[in-house]
């Protein structure tokens, strides 16, 4: 996609480098409505598909009558399990992030595995007709007993739980250490189902180009995963499928996997040899992946000063009946705190629901929430300041893997965060802080997330007029990928922002991982920097060919690229413009592609970001209503590519605070110190 330059004054040749608070380069398209999403691309003769969802959670279809729907003027066809094209084998359905098991296949047979499962696709000449006709499809079922409640299934031990073997190995003897501890706390925590449901519903626009060739606009966090999925399922050649995802209207993880509307749309397009769009309704967005329902039990044992002796963390979560999705819920304490005696377990309970899916720091959001709540209970039981308790137990290593941290500035996060928040004014006694009729509570928690780095590729094209085009098959889910990649490219080659275009969201571009896991900036950014550096080396070679070149004997490490020229670092006035260098080499354009790969030495370290989060809440003493009135988040996140978009990421987290519903079911405290 092409973007207008940022508004005047937001960036120039000198302040466009990495680290500048630059406006989003895609902002103009988004605020004016010029940005098109998967369900908005126009196409002559486009058909529309509407999914019919099941009305039961488990059982089978005994009868499905499509006659009334097919009789509606404008309806082209109604697809069901009885007339759908042949479905291929199991292996081809596994997308890039598919968990173990057998991925769901829409319209495969008469079996119903979850409520809202697609049972038919109505295809019509208009969206309105398709939606109306979908209400006329009559489906009869034979329902069977279903299980959709985790707590009911777990406490009745039916169905039996499955052990998850990816949890860390225990250390020491947690049970014995817990019994001998001077201070003990134990608590149960519940995280209910939580659905992503971003503003943009899932949609796929399939453009029929003839002879089995398709152009696909899909809501996905990585066009390559949809490309691989479509080619695998339908047996199409890679060169005959072109997937694009230029803009994503929010995803939070639900766009990591191709969803069933993509399969149904491609199926219909191939069968009818026409272009089609399938968009899910807001209600149908609840039939996709979600954060799993999770029950957690944490037991902590400590010495009188709060130093941990024992840490027990047990989790039970739901999965579907056909895939075994697992979140890393329980290992986080090993990366946060030092403890010689630990025990972990994570069990899965299959239910008659769709498969859960990664959502906003999967596993971390669930596990760290419970861990930090339990640490607060321990602080009260031991009579230790919550910050001091965390610092006493801070670990210099990831004790799960026994590897040192690549960097860790958590203590500084606590120091700066506490200062900004005014933590020193806190009184620790319960109900001792008030504001009129409101009880005031102050709490702190440690934040942590993995700093991943994946293989990624990028291409670059530099033209004689000084314009740079960089591309990679990554995505932008709203975090600012377009902008920060433009900044990286501009800084590396010393070009003004308005001379640089970064393109993404296209399966024909150089390979990149799906945008998830917080690895895009590091992974794709490294590829963009590498390809521009290698292009810069070619430019220096060309600059040496300029008649009387002042850079004839300069090495690459001796020069810098600034303001459209190659300059000696020791004497920036000695330079050759990029235009002159290309002219001397007889080039109108220079092209290059590069792949960035993590170094093996990285495996020797545990790579995480850390933060200290302070929150003030006010509780009405009469009604118990809770308001979050203040928050301070001190984050050690490494080099910030763009403080403006980075700040949006941090502040955006708080938008979900009021929607986050977790409960502590029960808590018991034993403290020889307190007594």
What's the confidence (pLDDT) of residue 654?
A: 55
Stretch(es) of the chain classified as CATH 3.30.365.10: 27-35+454-597
Strands 608-620, 626-636: pairing kind: antiparallel
Residue 650 has a pLDDT of 83
Q: For residues 613 and 135, give the distance between their C-alpha atoms in angstroms, rounded to a whole number.
A: 49
Residue 216 corresponds to which tokens in the numbers above? 């696909």
Whether a cis peptide bond, with omega within 30° of 0, leads into 354 is: no
Nearest to 374, CA basis, from 421, 442, 311, 441: 311
Q: Maximum Cα–Cα distance for the chain, whole Å?
A: 87
- Give the fold, CATH level 3, of 27-35+454-597: Aldehyde Oxidoreductase; domain 4 (3.30.365)
SS (H, E, C) 360-376: CCCCHHHHHHHHHHHHH
CA-to-CA separations, 102 to 63, 99, 123, 235, in angstroms, rounded: 26, 9, 28, 18
d(CA 82, CA 104): 17
Over the chain (675 residues), the average pLDDT of each successive run of 10 is 45 62 94 96 97 98 98 98 83 86 95 98 98 98 96 74 72 97 97 95 97 96 97 95 97 96 98 98 96 97 98 96 94 97 95 96 96 97 97 96 95 97 95 96 96 96 95 95 97 95 98 94 97 97 92 93 94 94 93 95 93 97 95 93 90 54 49 33
Q: What is the pLDDT of residue 252?
A: 93
Helix (H, G, I), strand (E, B) or coil at 349: strand
Q: 472, 465 in Cβ contact below 8 A?
A: no
Residue with the two structure tokens 């056909």:
322
Among 380, 251, 320, smallest CA distance to 98 is for 320
**Which DSSP symbol is given to 452?**
-
Residues 449/613, Cβ–Cβ less than 8 Å:
no
Angle formed by the axes of helices 260-272 and 223-234, to 10°?
50
| Residue 205 main-chain phi, psi, to 5 deg | -110, 115
pTM: 0.92
pLDDT score, position 427: 95
Q: Which residue spans within 93-240 are E strands per DSSP?
A: 100-101, 111-112, 118-124, 138-143, 162-163, 183-191, 194-195, 203-208, 214-218
C-alpha–C-alpha distance, residues 181 and 673, integer Å = 11
Write the CA distances from 107 to 78, 90, 278, 360, 379, integer angstroms: 12, 15, 15, 30, 54
Span between the terminal Cα atoms of the chain, in Å: 66
CA distance 247 to 22: 19
A 10 A CB-CB count for 672 gives 11
594 and 529 in contact (C-beta within 8 Å)? no
CATH 3.90.1170.50 is held by the domain 47-144+204-284: yes
Residues of the chain with CATH 3.90.1170.50: 47-144+204-284
Coil vs helix vs strand at 241: strand
């Amino acid at each position: 996609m092409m973007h207008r330059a940022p508004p005047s004054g937001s960036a120039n040749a000198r302040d466009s480098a990495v680290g500048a608070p630059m406006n989003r380069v895609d902002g103009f398209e988004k605020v004016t409505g010029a940005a098109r999403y998967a369900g908005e691309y126009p196409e002559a003769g486009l058909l529309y598909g509407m999914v019919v969802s099941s009305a039961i959670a488990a059982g089978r279809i005994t009868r499905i009558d499509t006659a009334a729907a097919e009789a509606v003027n404008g309806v082209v066809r109604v697809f069901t399990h009885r007339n759908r094209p042949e479905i291929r084998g199991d292996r081809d359905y596994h997308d890039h992030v598919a968990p173990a098991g057998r991925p769901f296949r829409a319209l495969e047979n008469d079996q119903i595995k979850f409520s809202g499962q697609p049972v038919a696709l109505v295809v019509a000449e208009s969206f309105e007709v398709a939606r109306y006709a979908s209400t006329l499809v009559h489906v009869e079922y034979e329902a069977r007993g279903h299980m959709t409640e985790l707590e009911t299934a777990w406490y009745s031990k039916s169905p039996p739980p499955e052990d998850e073997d990816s949890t860390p190995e225990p250390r020491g003897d947690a049970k014995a250490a817990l019994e001998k501890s001077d201070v003990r706390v134990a608590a149960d925590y519940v995280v209910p189902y939580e659905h992503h449901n971003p503003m943009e519903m899932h949609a796929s626009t399939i453009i029929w180009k003839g002879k089995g060739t398709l152009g696909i606009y899909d809501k996905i966090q990585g066009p390559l995963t949809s490309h691989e999925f479509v080619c695998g399922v339908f047996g199409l050649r890679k060169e005959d499928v072109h997937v694009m995802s230029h803009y994503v209207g929010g995803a939070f993880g639900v766009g990591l996997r191709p969803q069933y509307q993509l399969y149904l749309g491609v199926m219909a397009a191939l069968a009818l040899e026409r272009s089609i769009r399938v968009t899910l309704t807001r209600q149908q967005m609840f039939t996709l992946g979600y954060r799993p329902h999770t029950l957690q039990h944490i037991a902590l044992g400590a010495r009188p000063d709060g130093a941990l002796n024992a840490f027990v963390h047990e989790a039970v979560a739901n999965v579907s009946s056909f895939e075994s999705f697992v979140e890393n819920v329980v290992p986080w304490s090993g990366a946060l705190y030092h403890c010689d005696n630990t025990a972990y377990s994570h069990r899965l309970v299959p239910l008659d629901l769709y498969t859960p899916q990664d959502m906003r720091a999967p596993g971390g959001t669930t596990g760290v929430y419970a861990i930090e709540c339990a640490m607060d209970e321990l602080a009260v039981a031991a009579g230790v300041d919550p910050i001091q308790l965390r610092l006493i137990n801070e670990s210099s290593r990831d004790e799960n893997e026994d590897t040192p941290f690549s960097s860790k500035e958590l203590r500084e996060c606590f120091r700066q965060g506490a200062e900004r928040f005014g933590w020193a004014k806190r009184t620790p006694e319960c109900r001792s802080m008030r504001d009129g009729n409101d009880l005031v509570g102050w709490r702190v928690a440690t934040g942590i997330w993995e700093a991943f780095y994946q293989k990624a590729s990028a291409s670059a094209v530099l033209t004689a007029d000084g314009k740079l085009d960089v591309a990679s098959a990554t995505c932008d889910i709203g975090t600012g990928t377009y902008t920060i990649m433009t900044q990286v490219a501009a800084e590396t080659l010393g070009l003004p922002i308005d001379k640089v275009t970064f393109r993404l969201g296209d399966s024909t571009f150089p390979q990149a991982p799906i945008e998830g896991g917080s690895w895009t900036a590091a992974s794709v950014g490294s590829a963009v920097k590498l390809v521009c550096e290698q292009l810069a080396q070619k430019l220096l070679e060309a600059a040496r060919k300029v008649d009387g070149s002042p850079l004839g004997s300069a090495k690459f490490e001796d020069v810098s690229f600034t303001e459209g020229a190659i300059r000696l670092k020791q004497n920036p006035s000695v330079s050759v413009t990029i235009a002159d260098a290309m002219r001397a080499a007889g080039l109108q354009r220079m092209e290059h592609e590069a792949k960035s790969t993590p170094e093996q030495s990285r495996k020797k370290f545990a790579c995480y970001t850390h933060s200290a989060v302070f929150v003030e809440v006010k509780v009405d003493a009469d009604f118990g209503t809770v308001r979050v009135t203040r928050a301070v988040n001190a984050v050690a996140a490494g080099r910030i590519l763009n403080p403006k978009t980075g700040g949006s990421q941090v502040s955006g987290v708080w938008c979900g605070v009021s929607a986050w519903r977790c409960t502590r079911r029960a808590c018991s405290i034993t403290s020889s110190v307190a007594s």
